Amino acid sequence: RRSLTHCLILEGEDRLRLLNYQGNSITRIDNLGGTPNLIFLDMYDNQVQQIEHLEPVSNLRVLMLGKNQIARIQNLHPVPKLDVLDLHCNKIEVVEHLHALAKLRVLNLAGNLLTDVANLEQLSSLTELNIRRN
């Protein structure tokens, strides 16, 4: 495990496409303002508690948030181009707030606390859904 507890302030990183914070102790998604062309954000295996502050990365295509502490799916409307959303091994009980993700193809919700799978009808591009171990 690495020792980062927060996302670094990255300024002027217009060319940055992939950002990997995997395996740290980060509690919040933040400080993405300097990465406007980011398409891949990997925050797997951290301590993130909620999905937030994605407004600066509207071109994001892949969001990896597996093995965190997320209890609710929310605040994804700033990333309508999202293609892959990985939320496995979190604390999610309800599938919600995905209506803005018309281009989403892959949704991983394995290892959460789901008892029902609903609210997927608006995901017309979805081709892969993983809900194992719920």
Strands (E), 22-73: 40-42, 62-64
Residue 75's pLDDT is 98
CA quadruple 71, 74, 21, 130: dihedral sign: positive
Would you give per-residue pLDDT tens digits along the chain (134 residues)?
578 999 999 998 999 999 999 999 999 999 999 999 999 999 999 999 999 999 999 999 999 999 999 999 999 999 999 999 999 999 999 999 999 999 999 999 999 999 998 889 889 999 999 999 99
Contacts of 121 (CB under 8 A, 6+ apart): none
Q: Which of helix, strand or coil describes residue 88?
A: coil
Would you put residue 77 in left (φ > 0), alpha (ψ -120 to 50) or beta? alpha
pTM for the complete prediction?
Answer: 0.96
